[in-house]
Structure 1
Amino acid sequence: MTHPHNESPVNPLPPVVVALALVIFGVELVFTLGARGLAGGPAAIGWRSDWMERFAFSDRVFEWMRETGTWPLEHLIRFVSYPFLHWNFTQMLFAVVILLAMGKIVAEVMGAVRMLALFFLGSIGGALVFALVLNDPTPLVGAFPGDYALIGGFTYLLWLRLGAAGSNQVRAFSMIGVLMGLQLVFGLLFGANNYWVAELAGFCTGFMLSILLIPGGFTRLLSRMRSR
């Protein structure tokens, strides 16, 4: 029996969330050290640009695959490799903070495998919408579409909880509303990019997939629809 005084006041993070965050952090750390000449020698200065060229999601590469009907693995991998690349340390840090917060909640409810599925399928969904809706030559990088998929999962969990309590379920979407609003403000102040399209698509992907991934989630949805 565990003595209550020996119990941790904070629930530990699920190992899968920590591992994913460490990989993202580690990749950026290597790039940062290389750019400052602290690792890898003179060639390390170009590590970030080299990996961007090989592993960032590119709309131009995607359009080439569509037009030629060829889907080589070296380019398909971009759908799941771009979340590990960031333009700078600050961007990565914000992405990891959201991953740790949302990943913990989602993994504890859905489990580690479903959390990873939500993150990567949300990243894939975000990249697809980014490519299909826009014609943007800027490479898509960053863990934010996957993070937003986790926010979508969290939103669905909250939506179910509010519904069970008889509360207004629209409140579940307050977080995504605030985040999109903040993005608009930062875009006006510091210059906007089109990444919000991928992030919003990631959120929608995560929300919809959660209906299937949450144990009993689809059954609850059907019962609520029938009750109305």
Structure 2
Amino acid sequence: MTPELTFPPLFQGEALTGAADPFAKACTQALLGCDAGTVIYNITPDALKAAIIFAPERPMTEALPVLIACEVGFQNALGALAPPEVSVHFRWDGEILVNNARCGRMRMAAAEVAKGADLDWVVIGLELPLLPPDPETPGLTPDQTCLFEEGCADLDPGLLLEAWTRHTLVWINRWSDEGLRPLSTEWRGLVDKMGEPVEMTLAGQSYSGTFMGIDESFGMLLRQGDDTQLLPLSLLLEQGGER
């Protein structure tokens, strides 16, 4: 059984067991109505999965940068607990990179609202592999990794989850007090392939081009030839728990 974890003020935890998916559970609870700051998590020997429910009370474009706050919070948390040689970066679509290899992802879902209306809730999910899919053949997929393979075998995933919520809260408070500039400055140093060619599939549609930068709401500026396209963060929202 996962020991009871300690979360910062205004956050409360709910542990799941077995194969239960915290992201799906959080989306259901948010839809039905529950307290903001609920952290639903499932820690197994193989993976850490968690989701946080937020109540932003802002229009979508102003609310979705909470994903960025969660990413920076995660980098701060893992950076504080992992060996110093471990690097953490993010792809714009939410994939987590540890030492330049894919290591899980962030996910996002939100309430359906009319254009310009305030969002009732946003759920940010974290999926982080702790062990390789096949312990007998570590390193079989060099473009994918897990914490065990990156020198984090002794890292307590419960402590990491606690630290993630604390550091995320710090960045949300800075966002509230100082606006998005500090968060943007921090995240620009963590995002992968800015200024380089990228390819990705979002909501069943493929995108490719040069990642030129971001707008004030962290939308991707994607250049294809002479044209530059804006991909808003809302493209990362999942419907029914799938993207």
Work out whether the TM-score is over 0.5: no
Q: Which of the pair has more CA radius of gyration?
A: 1
TM-score (normalised: structure 1): 0.27
Name the structure with the higher helix share.
1
TM-score (normalised: structure 2): 0.26
